[in-house]
Structure 1
Amino acid sequence: MRLHRNLVFATIDALSEIFNQEKYADKVIQNTLKRDKRWGSRDRSFVAETTYDIVRWKRLYSEIAEVKAPYSRENLFRLFAVWATLRGITIPDWKQFEPVPSRRIKGKFDELSQIRKYRESIPDWMDELGVKELGEKTWEKEIHALNEQAPVVLRVNTLNITRDKLRSILKDEGIATEPIKDYPDALQLEERANVFITDAFQKGYFEVQDASSQLVARFLDVEPGMRVVDTCAGAGGKTLHIAALMENKGQIIATDIYENKLKELKRRAKRAGAHNIEPRVIDSSKVVKKLYGKADRVLIDAPCSGLGVLSRNPDAKWKLQPEFIDNIKKTQSDILDQYSRILKPGGKMVYATCSILPSENEKQVAQFLDREEGKDFKLVKDKKVLSSESGYDGFYMALLEKAK
């Protein structure tokens, strides 16, 4: 592979923003790809995938390159040189690159690969927490899987089209997909592609949604005509899936504390042709209290550590702190106590996270059932999805039923 100066420089600029200004990698890459309209799909793919690669392996590459934060431009070129060397890419004779000691880089890589926190490029505290919560064997497999590049999975919008029909249309647009067994609404891309520029996307035929995430709406056991409250709706990935499963019949109240996310949900719902969604901003406790005892189904897609989605958000490894996880567990507990009151007697509720930690998942549910707030609830079933077993995001979901 021949390296092109403008693409390498764009990658270095992106890394500087992510590492030194602590900006979110997906937003930085999104903006970086708008930099040059002449870039083709291969150029854009190089910038995006190389940036994500170096973010994913930051600790390992920094150790090999002997550099530390804050990263000077010179240091970032050293990280890039490590990335290129380990992939057998010839380093160009540019003044930005020092003479690259290829043998020493490969030797250090072999040496550090014997130690998990370097091999999987994670902070010490995260490695210790993973072992404590999941056990050595499971954590070893799981963190390895979470360092793999996430596949691109689409959720077919069954309000507008069937899976087979969408697959045929995408094939005509040059995008090959495969159905996924046991995921009735999912299609997986055979090769990465920018699906957002397709006519099929503009017509609301699909959303991009990981296969594990697609399990949650079905787990809620919704039916057309019900009143459903999605309490932490965000931009509405699961809300839209619920709308499709309800065939646009009934009412979905989508609440969130962030108004801008609900505006995005409105936009997406319009494109999807989902007409039974009513967004409500939680700007005071009254918004939730007005809903007490009124829903047939409640979804609590709770804020969490996000450790199950590191494959698509590798920068989270460097942004997360142990204190955040302690605080988010308290938030999860409070949300369960408060939002569970929205459910009618005899109704069902799903508590879900994109975390793999039992302390955020099954232990959180068990503690809720032991509290006064959970005394009328019983656990119907739960499901833990590990990335190392499924090939998709790590997830947890529990279906709870309220006594009549």
Structure 2
Amino acid sequence: MNTREIAVKILCEFEKDLKIKPHFERLTKNLSFKDRSFVREIVSGSVRFLKLLDFSIEKVSGKNQKKQHPAVRNSLRILAYQIFFMSVPLYAAINETVEAVKHFRKKAAGFVNAVGKKLINFDYKAEIEKIPDFYERISTLYSFENWMVKRWHRFYEDELVSILSFLNRTAPLYIRINTLKVKVSDYLKFLEESGIEFEVHPFIKEMVRIKGKVDIQSLPGYADGFFYIQDVASYLSALLLSPQKGKKILDIAAAPGGKTTAIAALVENEADIIAVDVDSERLKLLDRNLEKLGVNCVKTLKTDITKENPFTENSFDRVLLDAPCSGTGIIRRHPEGKWNKSLSLIKHNQKLEKALLKEAFKLLKPGGTLLYSVCSLEREEGEEIVNFALNIGFKKRDFDIKFEEIGVKGSMARVFPHKQGTDGFFYAIFTK
């Protein structure tokens, strides 16, 4: 299959389970970096702008997208995405997509060709402006579910459009230099010598943004564990915990280990860290990351502390609870998150977060510190959890480390793509 055929196939699989990664990895493993990048962009973009693309296709074709054959429906989506958002020559976008659909549904080639030609001159912005309802208009233009747009408007008011717009942007690639293996200054020299364009974070020196499209495996020290791919917002969870050498630290829901390994680096492998998770496969990945990054102060354990808490009460000086959540703050990295969320999922997550906090309270030493974080924009998983924590006995305290440049101060904070350029995260810090 050529790249567009693969993209169509991935999107057909996506429709079945609303997942991208497993299908992408399986169907592109034999492609070159360049072709994988093309397929990734066309698939992620089509999922990101699904509602807008379907609106436009239905307008020019007069046909309901839901009634189309899956391969035809998704061929039209990748074609519309190329025409609207990519710099692919128009004749190539149409011709190559028509050839792709022939692989699945030969008799649909003429239809796809005709729709493509109509899309070239279609002004989707002007057509969307005609939609009378505000929420339907905004949710179509930015391609989000109506219920998401309504609740974020209630939460964030005038910031709504900025939030939607920035969640639609491709997330930057940040790496955390692994100071257990290499000095920051030395690694920056390696990047320079390799001709890699990069930018050091303005106030977190070990965080580096890699510019342009780069094959991760081509970065210096990839095989040696010199870096870990991690967004600044994720790293902040470890920083704000303010871990100390010689202390006993618990990382709950730790896999695949981005924050666990960050904590280990911050204490220079001189702490007693226990990382727990309920997922065996993700724990295996965590163990591999520990080994690759040279972390030797972490013990891993498969357990669900809400059902079988194996630890003694008042055991830990520090607890990090980066809780399972809806993930609405990382939609720019996972555009499928627009379509696989629900209010019931948010409520389910809130129950789980509360249950984890209850157990974590028992395990924290009096005077100890717990850092709660979620990659979520939802108030139920952020501010409402703070109220719950205070009700069960936690006490507010201020962050030891403050990042006032990005508004992280006091005892809780939110960061956003449109404000801080990070993933959307919520943090709160407590003592007992």
TM-score scaled to structure 1, two decimals?
Answer: 0.91
Tell me, yes or no, if the aligned pair for 2:303 and 2:309 is still in contact at 8 Å.
yes
Count of residue correspondences:
390
2:182 to 158, 161, 164: 161
What's the Cα RMSD here? 2.0
Query: Which residue identity lines up with residue 70 of structure 2 in the other structure?
Result: S
Tell me, yes or no, if the aligned pair for 1:298 and 1:340 is still in contact at 8 Å.
no
2:230 equivalent in structure 1: 209
Query: Which residue identity lines up with residue 13 of structure 1 in the other structure?
Result: K
Secondary structure of the structure 2 residue equivalent to 1:319:
coil
Closer/same/farther in 2, CA of residues 269 and 103 from structure 1, 3 Å limit: closer
Partners of 2:325 and 2:236 in 1: CA distance = 18
Deviations 1:229-286 (A, max 9, x none): 0011021110000000011012110011112211111110001000000001115767
Secondary structure of the structure 1 residue equivalent to 2:206:
strand
Partners of 1:224 and 1:132 in 2: CA distance = 43
Partners of 1:98 and 1:124 in 2: CA distance = 31
1:175 Cα deviation from its structure 2 partner: 2.4
Partners of 1:199 and 1:293 in 2: CA distance = 43
Query: Which residue identity lines up with residue 49 of structure 2 in the other structure?
Result: W
Closer/same/farther in 2, CA of residues 194 and 104 from structure 1, 3 Å limit: closer
Tell me, yes or no, if the aligned pair for 2:168 and 2:332 is still in contact at 8 Å.
yes
1:74 to 72, 88, 92: 72
Partners of 1:164 and 1:50 in 2: CA distance = 37
Closer/same/farther in 2, CA of residues 113 and 30 from structure 1, 3 Å limit: farther
Tell me, yes or no, if the aligned pair for 2:416 and 2:425 is still in contact at 8 Å.
yes
Tell me, yes or no, if the aligned pair for 2:139 and 2:149 is still in contact at 8 Å.
yes
Matched, 1:111 2:132: no
Matched, 1:274 2:295: yes
1:203 Cα deviation from its structure 2 partner: 0.6
Tell me, yes or no, if the aligned pair for 1:62 and 1:68 is still in contact at 8 Å.
no
In the TM superposition, 1:159-198 aligns within 5 A as: 159-198=180-219
Tell me, yes or no, if the aligned pair for 1:133 and 1:359 is still in contact at 8 Å.
no
1:53 equivalent in structure 2: 45
1:338 equivalent in structure 2: 359
Tell me, yes or no, if the aligned pair for 1:385 and 1:394 is still in contact at 8 Å.
yes
1:98 to 110, 113, 116: 113
Closer/same/farther in 2, CA of residues 326 and 283 from structure 1, 3 Å limit: closer
1:108 Cα deviation from its structure 2 partner: 3.3
1:393 to 423, 427, 431: 423
1:27 Cα deviation from its structure 2 partner: 2.3
Matched, 1:22 2:17: yes
Deviations 1:348-369 (A, max 9, x none): 1101000122221122112220
Secondary structure of the structure 2 residue equivalent to 1:106:
coil
1:157 Cα deviation from its structure 2 partner: 0.5
Tell me, yes or no, if the aligned pair for 1:303 and 1:353 is still in contact at 8 Å.
yes
Matched, 1:11 2:7: yes
Partners of 2:223 and 2:247 in 1: CA distance = 29
Greater CA drift, 116-125 or 92-101 = 92-101
Matched, 1:134 2:153: no
Structure 2: runs of 5+ lacking an equivalent? 59-64, 103-108, 131-136, 399-410
Partners of 2:72 and 2:256 in 1: CA distance = 39
Greater CA drift, 200-209 or 60-69 = 60-69
Tell me, yes or no, if the aligned pair for 2:56 and 2:119 is still in contact at 8 Å.
no
TM-score scaled to structure 2, two decimals?
Answer: 0.85
Partners of 2:67 and 2:220 in 1: CA distance = 43
Partners of 2:149 and 2:18 in 1: CA distance = 24
Query: Which residue identity lines up with residue 116 of structure 1 in the other structure?
Result: I
Tell me, yes or no, if the aligned pair for 1:85 and 1:105 is still in contact at 8 Å.
no
Secondary structure of the structure 1 residue equivalent to 2:313:
coil
Deviations 1:293-347 (A, max 9, x none): 1101000101111110000000011111121111111111121112121110111
Deviations 1:12-62 (A, max 9, x none): 11111112x2152122222222144xx3x3222111111110010011101
Secondary structure of the structure 2 residue equivalent to 1:184:
coil
Structure 1: runs of 5+ lacking an equivalent? none
Query: Which residue identity lines up with residue 392 of structure 1 in the other structure?
Result: T
1:89 equivalent in structure 2: 90
Secondary structure of the structure 2 residue equivalent to 1:288:
coil
1:397 Cα deviation from its structure 2 partner: 0.8
1:122 Cα deviation from its structure 2 partner: 0.6
Closer/same/farther in 2, CA of residues 200 and 192 from structure 1, 3 Å limit: same
Secondary structure of the structure 2 residue equivalent to 1:183:
coil
Secondary structure of the structure 1 residue equivalent to 2:122:
helix
Query: Percent of counterpart pairs with the same letter?
Result: 27
Query: Which residue identity lines up with residue 57 of structure 1 in the other structure?
Result: F
Tell me, yes or no, if the aligned pair for 1:146 and 1:311 is still in contact at 8 Å.
yes
